[in-house]
Structure 1
Amino acid sequence: MSLQLEKPHPLLASYLQQLATHPLRTKAITNATLCFLQEVLGSHIAHMPVKKPAPDAPVLSHLLARAHVDTRAVKMALYGFLVSAPLSHFLVGALQKAFAGKTGTGAKLAQIFASNLLVAPTQTSAYLASMAIISGAKSVDEVINTIKTGFFAVIRIQWITSPIALTIAQRFIPVELWIPFFNAIQFVLGTYFNARVKQLRAAAAKKAAKEKDEGEN
């Protein structure tokens, strides 16, 4: 049974009010902010080297560089605002409407299966396509290859975490708090995987540079 929401914090109450009155806009701003922070925090956690601007660049440019605020972070924010939020809004909204008022065990299991077989694959494909474009893909074939290469690695994680999160939400989280709850989970996981990918890429680049030096010598 879901916990009853009593006297939420004023900030949370204000956020929930915005979700109720302007759902898509609020979700878009939220996702943009979280995607931006994931990118910045991922760079800090992975100890990525700072890309120093020109010596004569404005002070603000140097401060942003030290904070790992770069064009990729901005692009991630745009992805959250223009792709992730609208897609999640319509897919999850349709899922909630389809199972509204259905509290039986069969309905809950059906909701989990529908999420894993319909919602998750669509979101994963959109995410990988967007990451390919952000990373510099120049053609449709490059985008498709990125989706093919990373789809099952990403969807496996979705299939593990999504049922657990949805089960917890079904049992303990009031429906009005589902969006903040899922956002929090996605933010933590997204930040972790962002940092992990950066670490792996840095290690691979370092190994390739070392092998090149050894080959030249």
Structure 2
Amino acid sequence: MSFQELNAQYLAYLAQYPLATKSVTSGILNGLNETISSAITNEYKESRILGLKIKHVFSSKLVKMIIYGSLISTPISHKMYGVINKIFKGPLTPKQKILQILTSLFTVTPTLSACFVAWIGLINNYQPKSFSICEIGRIYTVIKTSLQKGYLPVLRSSMVTSFLALVVAQKFVKPELWVVFFNLIFFVLGTYQNTKLKKLQKKQRLEKSE
């Protein structure tokens, strides 16, 4: 099957099952994101199979990243972009296109950046100890610390990448290929951000242990 046929089939599923298709796509890409960033930061696990020690990147973090992509970030962005598209209906003037881009940059991008940093902080730095009210405090502390340390760098890179991607897409990418284009762009960005956060949090854990 050619790329054009695969793309046409993907877009057909997207039109018929928009949220489900986006969720599956995002889940797969986020899983790949976690796999690559874990390999880059040398976060390997060891399992013994048939008496042999085998290093791999399969872990609960991988599952949690798939959950994040399919059940958290995608529904949020789907709903937020839905509202934006309802506001900016029909053929848009150049000024309306700019306003649409700015609206997305100052609503969707900050929200998703905060969700991403908070989730990465939780899966890297939080291990549940018991089911008690104290756990809520621990979760809050982990999220707060993660946002303080990593939110602004992630937001800056997301803002720049989102703006450039929107400009390029409007000028050079066919509308029916926008979904594929943005999925690839944010997969690369997400992998970079995840790797950077892992390195930062790994450094913080080493400093704390010392």
- With normalisation by structure 2, the TM-score equals 0.81
Match of 1:52 in 2: 46
Query: How much has 1:166 moved relative to structure 2?
Result: 0.8
Counterpart in the other structure of 2:85: 96
Q: Aligned residue for 1:180?
A: 180
Structure 1 residue 202: Cα displacement: 5.1
Match of 1:34 in 2: 29
Which ranges in structure 1 are unaligned for 5 or more consecutive residues?
Answer: 1-6, 213-217
CA distance in 1, matches of 2:203, 2:118: 24
Contact 1:40/1:67 (CA < 8 Å) preserved in 2?
A: no
Give the number of aligned pairs: 197
Deviation (angstroms), 1:128: 2.1
Identity score, percent: 34
Contact persistence 2:154–2:193 (CA under 8 A): no
Query: Helix, strand or coil for the counterpart of 1:139?
Result: helix
Structure with the higher strand share, 1 or 2: 2
Match of 1:21 in 2: 16
Check 1:97–1:173 CA distance in 2 against 1; reply closer, same or farther (3 A cut). farther
- Superposition map of 1:68-217 within 5 A: 68-137=57-126, 138-201=138-201
Aligned partner of 1:43 in structure 2 is: 38
Structure 1's 184 and 173: CA in aligned 2 closer, same or farther, altered over 3 A?
Answer: same
Q: Residue type matched to 1:9 in 2? A: Q
Structure 1 position 201, deviation (Å): 4.9
SS at match of 2:90: coil
Preserved CA contact (<8 Å) 2:19 2:78: yes
RMSD: 2.6
Assess, with a 3 A threshold, how the Cα gap between structure 1 residues 62 and 91 changes in structure 2: closer, same or farther. farther
Q: Which has the higher contact order (CA 8 A, sep 6+)?
A: 1
State the Cα distance separating 1:62 from its structure 2 match: 6.1
Q: For 1:52, what is the secondary structure of its paired residue? A: strand
Considering only CA atoms, is the larger Rg found in Structure 1 or Structure 2? 1
